[in-house]
Amino acid sequence: MMQFSTLIDVAQLSRWLDRGDWVILDCRFALVEPKIGHSQYLEGHIPSARHADLEGHLSSPVIEGVSGRHPLPDRRQLSRRFREWGVNPHTQIVSYDHGDGAFAARLWWLARWLGHTEVAVLNGGLRGWLQTNGDLEKGPEPAAPKGRFRASRPQTREADAEEVLSICRSGAAGKSGTVIVDARAKERFRGDIEPIDSVAGHIPTASCMPFGENLNDGGYWLDPAALRRRFAGLAKGPAVSYCGSGVTAAHNILAMVHAGLPEPSLYPGSWSEWIQDPARPIARGDG
C-alpha cells in the first residue's frame, strides 16, 4: 500500500480511499467564529471524514498570562482521540481544511508529534475536492470501530521560549547557526497591524516567510523544487518556526519537509506566548 507523509492530491485520495486503513480528518476552523468549523462539517464533508477541532481537539486550554493562544494538547488525550477516530498503528491519515492547509498542517504536525508518520495534508483542501466534483456527505460523524493507536517517539522537533531567547541573543544565524522563521503576514511581522494579539511586532532576528506564499495563485502547494528555492536561504542551518499561536508555523514546517529540507523546530507558544513576558525582547519593522 502506498504511503503519504506530506501531501496528497485529490486524485490520489479518491483512488486509494477505499483500498485500506484510512482516516480522513476535517480541520476547518475560523478564529473569529470558533464553532463554525463543526457547523460546516455537518453541512457537508468528504465522505467518511471526521471532524478535528482546533480548540476542542488539537489544543489544550489557555493558561492566562502564561501560554499562547493554542497550547499543544495533552499527548495522552490526543492519543485517545486518535483511537476514537479509528486510527490504528499504520492508518493513513489525511487532513484537510477550506483549502490553504493552515489548520490541516497543525493536525499533520501533531500526528507526527505522536510518532505517526503516515499522515498527509490534502493539496487544495475541500476547495480542491469540490473542483473535481467530489461528493460530500452531510450530518454527524460516521460510526467507526475504535482504533489501536498508541503514541510513540515524536518525529518532530520543538523549541521553547528559552531556546528562542538564546538564539536571539546570539544574533541572526550567529553563534547558534539557527534561524528563526515567522509564518505570519508581513504586516503583522513589521508591527503595522496586530488584529489578534495584544502586542505588535516580531521576535528579534526572525525572518518573515508568510505561510500563504507556500501556495500558488490557485491555492495549491508549490512543487518541491519551488519550495526549496523559497527556503534556500534557510537551508544552510537549523531553523525554528513560529507564528501567532503555533498553528500556521506548522505550514512552513510541512513545506520544508515536502521540499526535502531539514525539518525546523516548532516554537509551539509562538508570538502569543512570547509577549506574555515583558522581559522578552520584541522588534518592529523589516528586521
Task: Give the per-residue pLDDT at 175.
Answer: 53
Task: Give the per-residue pLDDT at 176.
Answer: 58
Among the listed residues 216, 215, 210, the one whose alpha carbon sits nearest the alpha carbon of residue 186:
210
3-class DSSP assignment, residue 226: helix
Q: Do domains 7-131 and 161-274 have the same CATH topology?
A: yes
Given a cut of 70, the residues of the chain with pLDDT beneath it are 1, 171-176, 235-236
Q: Are 280 and 163 in contact (CB under 8 A)?
A: no
Please name the fold of domain 161-274: Oxidized Rhodanese; domain 1 (3.40.250)
Active-site entry in 27, 168, 208, 243: 243
Distance (Å, whole) CA 244 – CA 235: 23
Residues 6+ apart with CB under 8 A from 133: none
**214 burial via Cβ count (<10 Å: 0-12, 13-18, 19+):** buried
Distance (Å, whole) CA 47 – CA 49: 6
Distance (Å, whole) CA 164 – CA 166: 5
Domain boundaries, the chain: 7-131, 161-274
Q: pTM for the complete prediction?
A: 0.96
Task: Give the per-residue pLDDT at 170.
Answer: 83
Average pLDDT, the chain: 94
Distance (Å, whole) CA 276 – CA 63: 11
DSSP secondary structure, 172-195, as one string: TTTTT--EEEE-S-HHHHHTS--S
Q: Within 10 A of 273 (CB to CB), how many other CB atoms are there?
A: 27
Task: Give the per-residue pLDDT at 144.
Answer: 83
Task: Give the per-residue pLDDT at 180.
Answer: 95
What phi and psi, each to the nearest 5 degrees, are found at residue 43?
Answer: -75, -25
Q: What is the pLDDT of residues 175-193, one digit of tens each?
A: 557 899 999 999 999 999 9
C-alpha cell at 47: 465522505
Task: Give the per-residue pLDDT at 177.
Answer: 79
How many residues are there in the chain? 287
Q: What is the pLDDT of residues 53-72, one digit of tens each?
A: 999 999 999 999 999 999 99
C-alpha cell at 190: 513589521
Task: Give the per-residue pLDDT at 174.
Answer: 47
243 annotated active-site: yes
CATH superfamily membership of 7-131: Rhodanese-like domain (3.40.250.10)
